[in-house]
Chains A and B, each alone.
Chain A
Amino acid sequence: MSGISSTTRLERGIATGALARLGQVAVLPVGVALRLLDPPMRWMQRFIGARRMAYVFLLPNFVFFGLFVFLPIGINVVFSLTGGTALFPSQRPYVGGDQFAYLFDCGSYLDPSSCREDHFWRGVANTAKFVVFQVTAMVLFSLITALVLNMKIRGRGFFRAVYFFPVLLSPVVVALIWKWILQRDGLLNAAITTLGGQKILFFVDPGWAMFWAVFVSVWAHMGFYTLILLAGLQAIPADLYEAAEMDATPRWRVLLRITLPLLWPNMIVVIVLALIKGAQTFDEVFVLTGGGPGTATLMVVQYIYETAFSSQVQNFGLAAAASVVLGVVLFVLTLLQFAAARRKEV
């Protein structure tokens, strides 16, 4: 695993840092608690044997997985097959596939307004549009950035950090920063009017709202994908480049014949990861545009959230059915990801 060399470097970094000491103080009560756990654990070990202690170690984590992941998957299916407004499954009448039938009841799938649940389909259409633009822009810009950062350039660490910085920001903070810049009397409109243009109401125009949703999302997450591609670039053997340099191969040829083909597996990982994350887009866009104007930037996840939690009638069944549909899409994308990862290993 490539993590070994980086983690030994980590070890040194952490050990020398005063941070480690700070961490020790914070973890001290945990240490005491762990020590107190020893007698019961010893008793347990005598009871079941050393080897079966593995189950004891796995238990807490799997209790959490069970309660908050596996059980919910099952309940989700139950919810999607039942109707009514009750939260507890046994109080909900069985309706079979009615929720799905309702979701998919459309005159034409290409026209959301012909659907009975038009918000869902607008969400699907918007998310599809968003994903196409966002993933394209994301891959393009993170590739360019990674290529540039991989050049022998001064201050590379600094520039890498610059592009990575927004990744750490919370979606709410990201959205508010841009909302402040893009508002009617904001910085961007000031720049536009200084250059002689007219103020643009970005969040009133559906096209602009979608553009900025994509832009802000790329701005916030580009650094993450850049890092993955950069790791891929740095794994390309240096002697290939040395050989190319000896043959005086032009740079564009090196790029097309060596760099891009060898980076391709990482590119696939980035594309699929971006697709999976893009399909689940919610927070930045929700805070930035609120799904508006109208439903111009309403995403599927926002539809699920609002159907279940913030509409007057909490329609858990419909929301669950929609999330089952989303889950199926994500599952297919994840299979793609595993296939890509396998190809990368071979």
Chain B
Amino acid sequence: MPTMRLSSMLGQRRNGTGRPLHWTDMVAYVYLALGVVLMFGPVLWLVLSSFKTQSALLEFPPSLLPFAQVEVTVSGQPQKLPLFRAKLPDGTVRELAQVRRIGLIAQMVDPADPSQQFRVAIDKREPVRHVALATENYSEPLQRFAFLRFLYNSVFVTVIATLITLLINSMAAYGLAVYQFPGKQAATLAVIGTLMIPVTIILVPVYLVVTELGLTNSLWAVILPGAATPTGVFLLRQYMLTLPKDLIEAARMDKASEWQIYWRIVMPLTLPALAVLAIFSIMWRWNEFLWPLAVLTKTEVYTLQIALNAFQGELQTQWHYLLAMTVVTLIPVALVFVFLQRFITTGIGSTGMK
């Protein structure tokens, strides 16, 4: 009987193992459901809030969706009028447009029939609202702040720094993976050593070096210091070690130069590892904060992160712009997440580094 089959199906655990649902599974699903709310909820709230008008953002308690008051054109009125749901003295509820407000009394008209005028106490009316996206939160910062400039700076830093990182890291990895030479041990140790030196403890002297190189307040001051990454050298070296040595020997027989072997044979074969490093580098650079904060002091060289931080001090009362800019800063990361999440997680899983 179909009903019986249905009930037995519902009682069964449907994960393919055929075991009945253990209570720990229930707890696990509840935990995971809470996790989804706690991890995605805040980001969703940010995105929803970023589409609210400035006045809607000041509401307390806040509404879930971005609402705006409906406005209607009424013949005989020069401007659009806000629409309210008003409770009239005779008990009927009608949708009326407000012409003006005098003290505690609102003068209202029926939008369908403007000759009908009403006087309504302001606590007897409620705004009629509809879901509306305040896209001006996104378009206005483009004109009011050098937003495009910051965006450009961030993209420039991310792209150039990633290309430099890929190039010099892969060269070093190739040198360490393919050759036997005096000092190889020392070079490998030196790379390990740099793993232990985070930028937090050499902030001041790197600032001196950058100043002496004449790079202060240029984007190169952000790009260059972090370009050589020990993580990248290791990642690529480990991968290159798995490539067959015969390939390189054969190329040498064919009179290929060492440089040619590097970029025509080894680089294409290392592409998967290079892709992982590229994704990492993009994330690092796009999100970098402390070092740019220390070295960039002029507004025109601010990256998005630094600009956001500066604005959150200045724009405390203008959350609508701040939220929209935060969303824009988040978009590339969200894209990376959607398309490349698997590669990053396997990358971290196999190297234990981020």
Q: Which residues of A contact B174 (CB under 8 A)?
A: 57
The reply to whether the CB of B73 lies closer than 8 angstroms to some CB of chain A is: no
Partner of B308, one of A19, A79, A172, A219: A172
* A183 CB to nearest B CB, Å: 8
Size category of the binding interface on chain B: 35 or more
Query: Is B349 a contact of A227 with CB atoms below 8 Å?
Result: yes
CA of A327 to CA of B242 in the docked complex: distance in angstroms?
Answer: 35
Asked if A134 CB lies within 8 Å of chain B CBs, one says: no
Knowing A10-B275, A23-B278, A169-B333, the reply to whether A62 touches B172 (Cβ < 8 A) is yes
Q: Are B22 and A251 in contact (CB under 8 A)?
A: yes
The total of chain A residues at the interface (CB under 8 A) is 117
Is there contact, CB below 8 Å, between B198 and A330? yes
CB-CB nearest in chain A for B39:
A162
Q: What distance in Å separates the Cβ of A301 from its nearest Cβ neighbour in chain B?
A: 5
Q: Which chain B residues in 226-277 approach chain A with CB under 8 Å?
A: 226-228, 233, 238-239, 242, 252, 257-260, 262-263, 271-273, 275-276
Q: Is the CB of A3 within 8 A of B350?
A: yes
Complex alpha-carbon distance, A275 and B46, angstroms: 30
Could you tell me the dominant secondary structure of chain B's interface residues? helix
Instruction: Please give the residue numbers on chain B whose beta carbons come within 8 Å of chain A beta carbons, in ascending order.
Output: 14-15, 17, 22, 24-25, 28-29, 31-32, 35-36, 38-40, 42-43, 45-46, 49, 58, 60-62, 159, 163, 167-169, 171-172, 174-176, 178-181, 184, 187, 190-191, 194, 196-198, 200-209, 211-213, 224-228, 233, 238-239, 242, 252, 257-260, 262-263, 271-273, 275-276, 278, 283, 286-287, 289-290, 293-294, 305, 308-309, 312, 319, 322-323, 326, 329-330, 333, 336-337, 339-352, 354
Contact A67 B209 (CB under 8 A): yes
Contact check, B31 vs A144: say whether CB atoms are below 8 A apart.
yes
List A123-169 residues whose CB lies under 8 Å from chain B: 144-145, 148, 151-154, 159-169
CB-defined contacts of A231 to chain B, threshold 8 Å: 349-350, 352
Q: Is A64 a contact of B352 with CB atoms below 8 Å? A: no
The complex places the Cα of A87 from the Cα of B319 at a distance, in Å, of 38
Contact B35–A68 (Cβ < 8 Å): no
CB pair A287 B309 closer than 8 Å: yes
| Known A64-B227, A287-B312; contact A224-B348, beta-carbon cutoff 8 A | yes
With A159-B35, A170-B333 in contact, is A10–B169 under 8 Å at CB? no
Assess the B343–A169 pair: CB atoms within 8 A.
no
B202 touching A3, Cβ below 8 Å: no
Q: A50-B258, A165-B39, A308-B204 are in contact. Are A151 and B25 (CB under 8 A)?
A: yes
